[in-house]
A = this chain, B = another copy of it.
């Protein structure tokens, strides 16, 4: 297999890196620590494992290693959506979308955004 689906803990790390770009373990751990209690070596270990798996790339030239994402945010998100669609929505991404829209107090602005997005989808069809 190529790159495995990230686990939940791994996703938390990916999100930090997707948002802030290449980061040190220290930085990622600081970010995670604002959300939950987590030891430094725990984060380190996870990131090392992720590098082994191919989820992260690391630059070991400097004193402190710099980790960067080796997977695209969009591809990963799509992978997770597809997985959820299969495991919880009988394979229907549309049902998933409906559910996400339905049980959500969407603002008028959001609804308009979706409409615009749909228009765009129709326009750019191939």
> What is the interface of chain A mostly: helix, strand, loop, or mixed?
helix
- In this assembly, does A94 line the interface, its C-beta being within 8 Å of a C-beta of chain B? yes
A101: chain B residues at CB < 8 Å are 97, 114, 117-118, 121
- In this assembly, does A60 line the interface, its C-beta being within 8 Å of a C-beta of chain B? no
Are B118 and A89 in contact, CB atoms less than 8 angstroms apart?
no
Are A99 and B87 in contact, CB atoms less than 8 angstroms apart?
no
**Is the interface on chain A under 10, 10 to 19, 20 to 34, or 35 or more residues?**
35 or more
Are B77 and A19 in contact, CB atoms less than 8 angstroms apart?
no
A97: chain B residues at CB < 8 Å are 97, 100-101, 114
Q: Interface with B: A20-28, A49-57, A103-111, which one? A: A103-111
- In this assembly, does A38 line the interface, its C-beta being within 8 Å of a C-beta of chain B? no
Are A94 and B77 in contact, CB atoms less than 8 angstroms apart?
no
